[in-house]
Structure 1
Amino acid sequence: MSDSLEALIRDLRTFDRRKEVTNALARNVRKPVPAVRKAIRQRALAVLPARGGFGRWVSKLSITARVKLQGRAAGVSLKGRRKGFPDKQPKVDLRRIDQGRAAAPSWGRRGDGDWHFQQVTPGFFSETGAEFDGWRKATLDAVDEALEVIRRG
């Protein structure tokens, strides 16, 4: 893969329609995103506490993907968001939940200072996204297709 990626970077520098190729490349790399969303939501339902509907509530998060094709940090990044309770929290800290700590109301109270942290199973988001097999195949196919377009001219 690294040989074909290096060849793509080298050939893109001199290709006159590089914007067209990079847009197609990004579009092809994004193809597995719906399957990743589904896998993350299913994992949240499976590993997060079901009591009180917490796992179900977290599984309704919105997930966006960003494809970056330039620089040293080229790759796909996933971002998850979930709005909190309208009257108490503007948004939920999904990163902390993914790390294994979830904020919970103490004995049903939701006022300031009435929340505590409880341990949950870590990695429902990050591990699921990283372990998904479709990324590698989609990326390899996209790079090969882009190289073919460049070589055809």
Structure 2
Amino acid sequence: MGSIDDLIRDMRNFDRRREVTNHLAREIRKPVPGVRKAIRARAKSHLPSRGGLGLWVSKLSVTARVKLQGRAAGVTLKGRRKGFPDKQPKVDLRRIDQGRVAAPSWGRRGAGDWHFQNVKPGFFSEPSTDVDQWRDAAVRAVDKALEVIRRG
């Protein structure tokens, strides 16, 4: 099992750096489909089913961005969900993840007719921060990259 320090040291003199970094990003991105399913399942089970909020939020899109340079190397997950264009154009998934959701007051959807309702927090953040699967993917990626570099 190699370390990230070994990888950085060996990458400096390697000709096909780009190939190795692309492979690293692909390997690190492998847990994303499982995390995406976990987030969607958690939205359905933890958010209110009455009114369809849990089902509606579970249809969000989750994208991953892998950054391998600099001090902030890591994976960033982003969830997006379009609102209803004529009623609520923007959906604040971060606020829903924190436990607050905007709801129409008595069916009125005009400006100023919304209130906040408390919901169970963590539908997005808890499944996405399952450290074991991300750590395992990173270790596999580093090991494979070191193997490629040392083979030449």
TM-score normalised to the size of structure 1? Answer: 0.95
Deviation track 1:107-149 (CA, whole Å, cap 9, x = no partner) reads 1111100000011111110111002632221111011000111
Structure with more helix by fraction: 1
**Structure 2 gap ranges (5+):** none
Shift of 1:88: 2.3
Tell me which amino acid in the other structure corresponds to 2:21.
T
Contact 1:36/1:132 (<8 A) preserved: no
Point out the more displaced range, 43-52 or 85-94: 85-94
- Residue 26 of structure 1 corresponds to 25
1:14 alignment partner AA: N
The equivalent of 2:55 in structure 1 is 56
- For 1:67 and 1:115, the matched residues in 2 are separated by 37
Structural RMSD (CA)? 1.2
Structure 1 segment 65-144 matched on structure 2, within 5 A:
65-131=64-130, 133-144=132-143
Which residue identity lines up with residue 121 of structure 1 in the other structure? K
Residue 13 of structure 2 aligns to which amino acid in structure 1?
T
- Matches of 1:35 and 1:133 in 2, distance apart? 13
Equivalent-residue separation in structure 1 for 2:116 and 2:32 (angstroms): 31
- Identity among equivalent positions (%) equals 77
Runs of at least 4 residues off by over 6 Å? none
SS in 2 for 1:76: strand
CA distance in 2, matches of 1:109, 1:10: 61
Whether 2:1 is the aligned partner of 1:5: answer no
Could you tell which deviates more after superposition, 52-61 or 125-134?
125-134
Structure with greater proportional strand content: 2
In 1: Cα distance, 2:88 partner to 2:22 partner: 37
Contact 1:28 1:138 in 2 (8 A): yes
